[in-house]
Structure formats: C-alpha cells, structure tokens
Amino acid sequence: MTRPTHLPHRRTRLIALVAGLVLAGAPTALRADIVLHDGGVNKDRDAANRVKTRTQEAPRLVLPSAVLAGPTQILSGETNIERCEGGSMPLDVTNKLTLIEDKVLNFEPDSALQTLSVVSTLLPCSDSIIAAEQLAKLSFLRGAALSDLGKDEAAAAMSEALAFVPDYSGEKGFPRTHSQLLETTRERMSSLPDGRVFLWPGPGTEQVHVDGTLYDQAHSVGISLRPGLHLVQLLVEDTIQGLWVMIGSRFSAIVFPGAGRAVWADGGRSPGGELAMRLMLEEGFHGREGDIHTLQYRGRSVSGATWPVDGGPRVAWEPEKRRRMAKSRRTAKPSQEPSEAQPSATGDESLPSAKPEQSAPEATASMDTSEDGDPQGTVAEGATVDDPGEPSPSPSDTEASTGSKPTEIKAMERVRRFRLSVGGGYQFAEPFSYGLLALDFSVRVVGPVQVVASLRPSLGGVYEYPVPSGVEPISGPVGFMPIGVGAGVAMDAKVSPYVRALFQFAYNRDGLSATEYLVGAVVQGGAEFLLPNVPIFLSIQGEAGILGTRFNGRAWLGIGVAF
C-alpha cells in the first residue's frame, strides 16, 4: 500500500470530521471502514490508529488521497447513462428532423421510428451542440409515431419532450390526438419535483452543456432538471463528447474519468462534492453504507466525513494539541503561565502590571476579576486612566462599582457606546435558503459613527441524497457562516435607527461558487428599541448584498445588551 510522505508537524495540522449515522432519537454510531488521508499523518498505520481511537473499530482499508486521481471509467449514481462509443461526427439534425416529420405526417410511423432510432443513437456523437428545442421535437415525433401505432410507449416519449423543454407546446400541423396526448402527459408530470444532477468532468474540459444550455457550476451547485432523458455534451480539447442521461426526482451524480482530484479538492464542501465522494468510495472501493471516514490537514475542514451523507449531525475531531492548549488555558492559575505561545506577551505585561500593585487590596481584586491567563484583563484600567484627574475610580471601575456617583455616570456612558446583540431569522444565499443565528457587536467611535462586526452561522438548504431504489430518500441540511466587518451611523435615542455597510467573507461549504472562499459586501438597515431602566434593547434588521457573485439577503429579530 502506498504510504504518504511525512511532512513536518510544524507545517501540518490534522483536522478530521466524523458524521455519525443518526436516526430520530437514536444514538450516534461511529464506525470505520475506509479511511482516506492526504499526507497529514506519518503513515497509514498512524491514520488507522487515530480512527480506531475515536471509533473503537479498526478500519478495513486506509488509502492516501492519491488513489482518488481516477476513476478510469464513468461513475454514475441514481442515473442511467448511454455514451457515444466512437468519435464525434457531423450530424445534420435539422434535415433529419424534417425527414422524420414528413414520414409521420404521411402516416409512415414504422419508417419514422427506424430513422428516429438511428438519429437518437448518433446524437451523443454529434460534433455540434444540440439545442433543447430539437431534442423536444425529436421526442414529440417519436410519441406521435407510437400513438399512430397504438403503442403505450407514446406517453413516455411525450414526457421526454417535456423534460427537454417544460413549456413545449408541440408542432403545428399534427392531428389533435397528438397535442392532447402531450397535454395529458404534462398534467401527469406536473406533480413530479425536479431532479438535480452534479457533473464532475475530467481534466481538459472547457465547457459543460446539458440540452444545449451552457453551465458553469455543474459540479458543485448542480443542474436542476425535469425528471426524464437529457443530453450531456462536454467540450474537451476542442472535441465534443456526449452521452444520454436519465434522471429522476432526486439528486444524482456523474464522475468522469480523471475527475477524482477535483472531487478530493472540494472535500465535500458542496452537495455535489459529497455525492461524488460517496460515489467514488462506494463504487471504486466498495465501502459500506455510512462507514467511510476522511482525515485531512492544512486546516481544511470538510462538510462531512462519513459517506454517503445521511443527514445526521457532523462532529469535528479537535486536534489533540489544540484540545490540550484549550484545557490548560481554562485551568490556568494566576501564578502559572503554561501557555508556550505567549512568553513575550507575559513578559511585556509584567512591568505595567506592577503599578496597580501599589495598593494591595485593589491589586488582588483586579487579579480575581480579570485573571484568565491573559494579562490584558487590566486593559480596562488603562481605559479609565485616559480620564485625567480621576485616578481613584479607575481600579474600582474595572472591578465593581462601590456606589460612587461618578462611576455610575461612566457606566451609563458605556451603555450607549458598546452593544452586543443576538437573534435569529432567515438568510437567502442564492440559490440556497437558511435559518440563521445572528451575532452583532458594535462600538460607537465618535458621534453617530460606529464600527461593527457580524457573524451569521446558518443552517438550512435541506438536500435529498440518493438511496437504493425503493427506499425513502434521505435528506439533510448544510451549514454556512458569513463573517462581516464594517462601519455605519446610528442615532443615540430610545429608538435608534441605523444603517451600515460591511465587507463580508465566507468559507464555501455549500457550493455557492466554484471558489473555495467567498467575498462580498452587504448593507444593513434596522432599528434598536432600548427598554426603560435596563441596558437591554430589542433589534430588528434587514440585510442585502452580494456574496461571491450571487445575491445574499437576510432578515432577523433579536435582543441585545448595551454597556
């Protein structure tokens, strides 16, 4: 088995995520079957030991990510495909359709069906892009010919026409029975939800066309299509390659030869990446359902580590070093400095911290209230020192007010300067919808001007993932967390309207764009309603902007505290 190259620990960081199989009310089950890693571990045995420690079960197979450079053949999930086995060739579709139409109108259905069969077989081999209208007409003519012969397959042919062009109205000059059959089929299909197909083309692919339409995010966001037959055509090194694809009303994926590296680079951040990874691992390595885990490093986190995704919660594996450091910070004593990452900081703060110790009671009180392993807990004293002529209230202001009126007045001033709010609402990040948790922190700088930071953890966009035929589809949500920083203006009153402009950034887990990170801007507008006699306010806010290249809007209600 190929062993990954060992990288120095100071340049690597292992991040592992596990998604357990969770049903309603059932406990999480962590198991290990296939383990993938990309060199962030010393060797395959190290990867196996890490997973066994977490799951109490040794993995069956440990693979470096290099094995995913394939596949060597097309892999398809929840689809039926038929590709061109030869090279591309010129095909005059317009003249072929005219010939077939004449045969149908002249009541030569058998001859028309023979020609239709030949043309349908050759269409994936065409050296030009075939328009959806031509494909719809082809299916309509087949349905008309089958109808004239009294065949039950006529309705299926009409449904193919409506899959290519949902508002297709048929062809002029044909008997009324043909148009009635088309409309009856349209009514029957109207209740069927759309399907979504994710196409992962191999290296060298320049364009992806489905039913004649060009798509630029077919791998991550996918393509929403009516259930039925569709023609996929890829432009690869100036050559068109085609295949017929039959999809249903669910998510499906097709991974072309050589697309494995792109799938691994996605890391499951998009719905298409999740389906493609599941497809490669199950088809290529016969992984058991829900028993495939991934290990990665370089700080990357994937949206799911168990394939296929089953809609259960995703649990992050915190690195051992980070967990130990976090624990040491939580349990640190004032006389101890366990953090090896802050020797210079503690040295710098030791000198100024000696000044407040001239008054022993005040010094010990300040240490008790601000000690968390970070000497910057004394910065609040520095903030009050900026007020000349007020040396004595400064330490007490950091600790707790003893009842002096000047200290109470300063507290009221801070109520109007710092505001922290939390709330919930709705987010639309085209083309996905989310429920969001809103966190805002604002600081009034001067006059009505304030700076603000925002965090929008969101969960939603429930997707349907493929399952074996005859089994109820499984759906699961995805997560998303835009971060914003900016400035704005706000009135200082009991009812405080405001407007802000923020730069926003998000890690692309959901496939909103082909890029790994999304940047954009957003405008916020809303109002805060300060409650009487308490530093608490209610907040309402609307937001609109751009994230990546797509529209991003939010609306939420919340509550906050001013200090």
User: Are residues 231 and 104 located together in one domain of the fold?
Assistant: yes
Give the burial class of 189: count Cβ atoms within 10 A of its Cβ; 0-12 exposed, 13-18 middle, 19 or more buried.
Answer: middle
Name the residue range of residue 460's domain.
418-562
Last residue of a domain, one of 275, 301, 321: 321
How far, CA to CA in Å, does 273 sit from each of 216, 270, 315, 514? 15, 5, 18, 11
Tell me the average pLDDT across 150-158: 94
Least confident range from 63-77, 310-324, 546-560: namely: 310-324
Beta strand 195-200 with 251-255: parallel, antiparallel or unpaired? parallel
Would you say residue 226 lies in a domain?
yes
Q: Which two tokens stand for residue 305?
A: 């580590």
What digits encode the pLDDT tens for the residues 128-151? 999 999 999 999 999 999 999 999
User: Are residues 248 and 286 located together in one domain of the fold?
Assistant: no
CATH number, domain containing residue 474: 2.40.160.20
User: Are residues 152 and 273 located together in one domain of the fold?
Assistant: no
DSSP structure class, residue 289: T
Would you say residue 393 lies in a domain?
no
User: Are residues 43 and 192 located together in one domain of the fold?
Assistant: no
Would you say residue 487 lies in a domain?
yes
pLDDT score for 230: 97
pLDDT score for 224: 93
User: Are residues 208 and 133 located together in one domain of the fold?
Assistant: yes
Q: pLDDT at residue 409 above 60?
A: no
Per the structure, the count of domains in the chain is 3
pLDDT score for 221: 85
Would you say residue 1 lies in a domain?
no
User: What Rg do the C-alpha atoms of the chain give, in angstroms?
Assistant: 31
Would you say residue 328 lies in a domain?
no
Least confident range from 172-176, 206-210, 352-356: namely: 352-356
Percent of the chain with pLDDT over 70: 62
**Amino acid present at 349:** E
Q: Which of 510, 552, 46, 30 is nearest to 274 (CA)?
A: 510
Task: Please tell me which of 289-298, 389-398, 458-467, 516-525 the model is most confident about, judged by mean pLDDT.
Answer: 516-525
User: Are residues 103 and 63 located together in one domain of the fold?
Assistant: no
Percent of the chain with pLDDT over 90: 40
Residue linked to tokens 């594996």: 317
Q: pTM for the whole thing?
A: 0.50
70 touches 41 (CB < 8 A)? no
CA–CA dist 130, 93 (Å, integer):
8
Residues whose CB falls within 8 Å of the CB of residue 161, separated by 6 or more in sequence, listed in order: 135, 136, 137, 139, 140, 143, 168, 182
Q: Which of 439, 437, 413, 394 is nearest to 562 (CA)?
A: 413
